[in-house]
Amino acid sequence: MRFVRRWMALALVAVGCATGSTDRAGLDKLEHIIVVYAENRSFDHLYGLFPGANGLANATLEQTTQLDRDGRLMDSLPPVWKLGTSEPDPRFPSVLPNRPFRIDAPPINLPPSVQVRNLVHRYYQNIEQIADGRNNRFASISDAGGLVMGYYDGSGLPMWQWAREFTLADNFFMGAFGGSFLNHFWLVCACTPLESAAPASERATLDVTGRLVRRPESPASAMQGPPQFRDGEFSPDGYAINTAQPPYQPSGVRPAATGDLRFADPARHPLHPQSLRTVGDTLSARGVSWAWYAGAWQRALADGMQPPSANRSVIYTRVQGTLNFQPHHHPFNYFLRFAPGTADRERHLKDGDDLVAAIDAGTLPQVAFYKPEGDLNEHPGYTDIVSGDRHIAELLARIRKSPLWPKVAVIITYDENGGWWDHVPPPRGAGWGDRWGPGTRVPTIVVSPYARRGYVDSTSYDTTSIIKLLTRRFDLEPLPGVRARAGDLTGAFDFARAPTP
């Protein structure tokens, strides 16, 4: 891991204070905190043109200009590769200048209502793309070629308008390198699960510098095609870093041919049930009501509990006419405390429809996490930006009209960058960076009658800042993985003012 250790030794970048100046009396005005967790977009990709934010205009030439795999400057970006191939996508120019480009402007003209392909967003690839904070290896490490440098003018999106009215955090980083699975764990426990029995065939292979080993067939240049790695779902020492499946249904692992249909087949190596301490544990220990709401949870649960011979229609991949539920987006479904048949599972794991009903009735628990279903989470490859952006904006409008509004804070953020480039280096150093992250910067919006109005909050935050806010507001037992120097999001609030209608 020499590569990671070198980076961790660098001076801190964009460091913020660990807590804000808000006192507990102010925080006590927040009787409800809602966290909305969208998917796979970097800050510059959606908000790089936001007025007053640290956006594209602040990017340096070193950060925008991408290097090839041998470290040499590329004359142009690689072609945008079709998914799983080295064949160029004809919707994009064959030659793209070596710099960020608008996807929704000439000559491409693909608006955010149009789906684009998925991009690689895995643990070791993200570390290598960040390149000690230079952010100049995104295009050469991506399997999508030049697409990784694409961005949108988000000013026409509904959530942009909420960001203009309330607080946009422009220095918020995803908690862990890589993808959704690991970042969902960092949202709820600031931890990385260990699977000591992970098969050798599913462990990544690293060279002496800590980088993924390239396969012999991997092209030498990014201009020739996507790189090929000896990657895996687990680190060489057995930590689950990419997409491991839950031990309980709904799971990407089917039930066994014989046995309890509520469980994933253990012979197919789902992640073993976890007992690491979560923010759910600390909330329950204080008697704070909470729930994780997942779009399409009940339908996916019923679908996953069909016998292995059944044709399941809800989960795994996006198929026209089916409902998209992603099992690895539900972190509490990995934990022993929430195993099938337990009271805590029934009490805390809810459907997205239950969230809407509780908002309208004003009966929402004190803490609510909401994960939209796949069609509405903004993930490239199986949905577009507009559908999810509009869905979240409509949810906010519903909350604003509900009895909850005078006493609520809503934090809207993204689990990770989805492989998209961003120019700001993640903070490193004592009390900040560690082996697991933080990774690339993502958009975060704070909406509340007590949120600062028309404000860009440049305090340094990461995903663990959400745990830190909950811990401070409800006087919880601190979780050890929460980063000491990450802000606690109180910089987004002004409790001295009267609540905003």
Which pLDDT score, from 0 to 100, does residue 498 have? 64
Q: Provide the 3-class DSSP secondary structure of residue 230.
A: coil
Classify residue 271 as exposed, middle or buried by CB count within 10 Å of its CB (0-12, 13-18, 19+). buried
Query: Which residues touch 287 (CB under 8 Å, ≥6 apart)?
Result: none
From CA 430, how far away is CA 486, in angstroms rounded?
A: 11
CA separation, residue 319 to residues 147, 277, 352 (Å): 23, 36, 21
Q: Provide the 3-class DSSP secondary structure of residue 410.
A: strand
CA separation, residue 276 to residues 245, 246, 279, 331, 479 (Å): 17, 14, 10, 12, 10
- What would the two tokens of residue 450 be? 């007590």
Of the candidates 496, 497, 489, 384, the one whose C-alpha atom is nearest the C-alpha of residue 34 is 489
Instruction: List the chain residues with pLDDT less than 50.
Output: 1-21, 316-320
Domain ranges (residues) in the chain = 2-61+153-193+247-492
**Dihedral Cα 354, 357, 361, 367, nearest 10 deg:** 40
Q: Provide the 3-class DSSP secondary structure of residue 490.
A: helix
CB 10 within 8 A of CB 477: no
Amino acid at residue number 315:
I
From CA 324, how far away is CA 184, in angstroms rounded?
A: 18
CB 487 within 8 A of CB 19: yes
Please say whether the structural domain 2-61+153-193+247-492 has been given the CATH code 3.40.720.
yes
Amino acid at residue number 189:
C
In this prediction the pTM is 0.93
Query: Which residues touch 462 (CB under 8 Å, ≥6 apart)?
Result: 172, 173, 174, 175, 426, 427, 437, 438, 483, 486
Pairing of strands 444-447, 408-414: antiparallel
DSSP state at residue 337: G
Query: Which residues touch 77 (CB under 8 Å, ≥6 apart)?
Result: 66, 96, 97, 98, 99, 101, 139, 145, 146, 149
- What would the two tokens of residue 457 be? 């909050």
DSSP 3-state percent helix, strand, coil across the chain (nearest 5): 30, 15, 55
From CA 399, how far away is CA 401, in angstroms rounded?
A: 5
Of the candidates 434, 424, 462, the one whose C-alpha atom is nearest the C-alpha of residue 174 is 462
